[in-house]
Amino acid sequence: MQGNRFMGKAKILVADDDTTVLAMLGNGLRSAGYDVITANNGEEALDLGRGEKPDLAVLDIRMPGIFGIEVARRLRESPGIDSIFLSAYSDREVVELATREGAMSYLVKPVNPDQLIPAIEAALGRSADIRRLHEKEALLTDTIKSNREISVAIGMYMEKFNTREQDAFFALRDYARSRSQKLVGLARQLVQGGEGRERLLKTIRRERATQTRRHH
């Protein structure tokens, strides 16, 4: 059985109304190094998810009380937990509904821990990637809002080269870093640049294109 490749113990919520399945999956995941909490109905899963804030939820779709898809929807809204679904049903409508609710994976029962672990690790990896992307976007937004000159300079680059705000931000940031210059200083040069502005914008664009080619 594979071990957990993520640093530290990932906390996994497993919810299934079949106590035999719940015990088998819970014990198997604990043996693989996960911190596991279990629930045998939808309401308990929702309460545990909100209270314990696991890294991922593994939910049976058809449970007493609240169905797994509804539990996943609520946990995703708050506190932002992603889910994998388990079901004895593989019909198209259920799969499509699970996908719309942001399912990281959908496994058809019977499922054993060796089948579940790769899906968990893949889901944890995707969740981490999404979090990093959101953090980058938040940093970008905060940086632009906090300095008018940076915002104006990014706007100049976007208009000149018909590019997205995020691409413009990274082009200016990377150019400034390559010259041990602060981003705000480069932005000020562009805002106050006069006749030299066009030449500087083209230089930034050219270096950005060169960097992009190196990474491909």
pLDDT digits (tens, 9 = 90+) for 130-181: 878 777 777 777 777 678 889 899 999 999 999 998 899 999 999 999 999 9
Is the pLDDT at 208 greater than 70, yes or no?
yes
What size, in residues, is the chain? 216
In this prediction, residue 8 has a pLDDT band, given cuts at 50, 70 and 90, of: low
pTM, rounded to two decimals: 0.63
Residue (of 58, 65, 178) closest to 106 by Cα position: 58
Q: Is it the case that residue 6 has pLDDT exceeding 70?
A: no
pLDDT at 9 exceeding the cut of 80: yes
Q: Is residue 69 a contact partner of residue 97, using CB atoms and an 8 Å limit?
A: yes
Give residue-wise pLDDT tens across range 60-88: 998 988 999 999 999 988 888 999 999 88
pLDDT tens sequence across 75-131: 988 888 999 999 887 767 777 777 777 788 889 999 999 999 999 999 999 888 887
Q: Are 101 and 76 in contact (CB under 8 A)?
A: yes
- Phi, psi of 73, rounded to the nearest 5 degrees: -60, -45
The confidence score (pLDDT) of residue 12 equals 97
Give the pLDDT confidence score for residue 132 in this predicted structure: 81
Q: What is the percent of the chain where pLDDT is above 90?
A: 61
Structure confidence at residue 90 (pLDDT): 72
State the pLDDT confidence band at 210, using cuts at 50, 70 and 90. Answer: confident
Please report the domains of the chain, with CATH numbers, ordered by start residue: 11-132 (3.40.50.2300), 147-214 (no CATH)
Backbone dihedral region of 8: left (phi > 0), alpha (psi from -120 to 50 degrees) or beta?
Answer: left
- Within 10 A of 195 (CB to CB), how many other CB atoms are there? 6
Could you write out the three-class secondary structure of 90-142? CCHHHHHHHHHCCCCEEEECCCCHHHHHHHHHHHHHHHHHHHHHHHHHHHHHH
Task: Pull the structure tokens for residue 148.
Answer: 């008018």
